[in-house]
């Protein structure tokens, strides 16, 4: 029996996938057939995507909201597209781009050519956007650092208790792990502080 699957992806755990999931439910896809990854689209080494690929059989359909949800690497999007449509002989539907619907078997040469061009353009745009995001992020971090912004957690303060525990540790009255536990820090943090 032919199955219809959905693939959804957001770039991080903080991002919300509700818009994609709503579109998949509206398309009529059962929740058990929706695969979701919460990680970058830079490559296709994603757990849910790989599980989906193992599940897909000839005649099945994979639905994505937009091409950039499938991925953001130009060459790999084209490779995965071919793997699904030619290798597995499954169909792909891109909801935001009706031209990218491979379910229609009556594609003539012109419509196939146009769909291939659209796929290549959208894949290129997805990768370019990823590169621009990385560039803007790097520029933002550089600008913030030049203004004196510090990244990461602020260093933990060493209290008077630290001095007492360090002395006890040096005289071998307590272990480094016990001293760290009493301070509420990592064992490695305590050892780093003692140097």
CATH number of the domain bearing residue 100: 3.40.50.1390
- 51 with 104, same domain? yes
- If pLDDT is split at 50, 70 and 90, which confidence band does 155 have? confident
Residue 147 lies in a domain: no
Residue 117 lies in a domain: yes
C-beta neighbour count of 113 within 10 angstroms:
11
Which range in 80-94, 108-122, 157-171 is most confidently predicted, on average pLDDT? 80-94
Residue 30 lies in a domain: yes
Residue 52 lies in a domain: yes
Compute the distance between CA of residue 35 and CA of residue 96 in angstroms, rounded to an integer: 18
CB 76 within 8 Å of CB 130: no
| Closest among 126, 127, 73 to 97, alpha carbons compared | 126
Question: What pLDDT does 2 receive?
Answer: 92
Q: How many domains does the chain have?
A: 2
- 36 with 128, same domain? yes
Q: Domain of 27?
A: 4-132
Using DSSP's 3-state secondary structure scheme, residue 76 falls into: helix
Question: What is the sign, positive or negative, of the torsion defined by CA atoms of 130, 133, 121, 49?
Answer: positive
Between the alpha carbon of residue 35 and those of residues 14, 23, 173, 179, 180, the distances in Å are 18, 13, 55, 46, 42
- 118 with 169, same domain? no
Question: What pLDDT does 109 receive?
Answer: 64
Question: What pLDDT does 50 receive?
Answer: 95
Average pLDDT of the residues of the chain: 86
Residue 165 lies in a domain: yes
- 122 with 178, same domain? no
Residue 21 pLDDT exceeds 90 = yes
Residue 17 lies in a domain: yes
Q: Which of 11, 12, 66, 188 is catalytic?
A: 11
- 118 with 176, same domain? no
101-105, 129-133, 162-166, 187-191: least confidently modelled range: 101-105
Instruction: Give the list of residues 6+ apart from residue 172 with CB closer than 8 angstroms, or none.
Output: none
Question: What pLDDT does 15 receive?
Answer: 85
Backbone angles phi, psi at 34, to 5 degrees: -105, 125
31-35, 143-147, 160-164: least confidently modelled range: 160-164
To the query of whether residue 11 is one of the catalytic residues in this protein, the response is yes
Do you know the residue count of the chain? 195
Residue 139 lies in a domain: no
Residue 29 pLDDT exceeds 90 = yes
Question: What pLDDT does 74 receive?
Answer: 79
Boundary of a domain, candidates 117, 132, 147: 132
Residue 141 lies in a domain: no
- If pLDDT is split at 50, 70 and 90, which confidence band does 112 have? low
- 170 with 84, same domain? no
Token pair in block for residue 181: 């536990």
Instruction: Give the list of residues 6+ apart from residue 52 with CB closer than 8 angstroms, or none.
Output: 5, 7, 35, 62
CB 44 within 8 Å of CB 76: yes
- 169 with 82, same domain? no
């Amino acid at each position: 029996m032919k199955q219809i699957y959905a693939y959804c992806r957001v770039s991080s755990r903080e991002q919300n996938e509700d818009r994609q999931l709503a579109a998949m439910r509206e398309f009529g896809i059962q929740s058990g057939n929706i695969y979701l990854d919460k990680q970058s689209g830079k490559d296709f080494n994603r757990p849910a995507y790989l599980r989906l690929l193992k599940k897909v059989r000839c005649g099945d359909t994979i639905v994505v909201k937009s091409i950039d949800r499938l991925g953001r690497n130009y060459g790999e999007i084209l490779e995965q597209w071919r793997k699904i449509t030619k290798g597995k002989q499954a169909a792909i539907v891109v909801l935001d781009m009706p031209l990218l619907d491979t379910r229609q078997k009556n594609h003539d040469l012109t419509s196939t050519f146009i769909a291939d061009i659209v796929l290549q353009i959208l894949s290129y745009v997805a990768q370019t956007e990823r590169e621009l995001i990385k560039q803007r992020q790097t520029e933002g971090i550089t600008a913030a650092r030049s203004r004196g912004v510090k990244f990461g957690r602020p260093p933990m303060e060493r209290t008077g208790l630290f001095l007492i525990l360090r002395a006890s540790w040096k005289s071998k009255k307590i272990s480094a792990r016990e001293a760290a536990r009493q301070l509420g820090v990592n064992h490695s943090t305590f050892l780093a502080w003692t140097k």
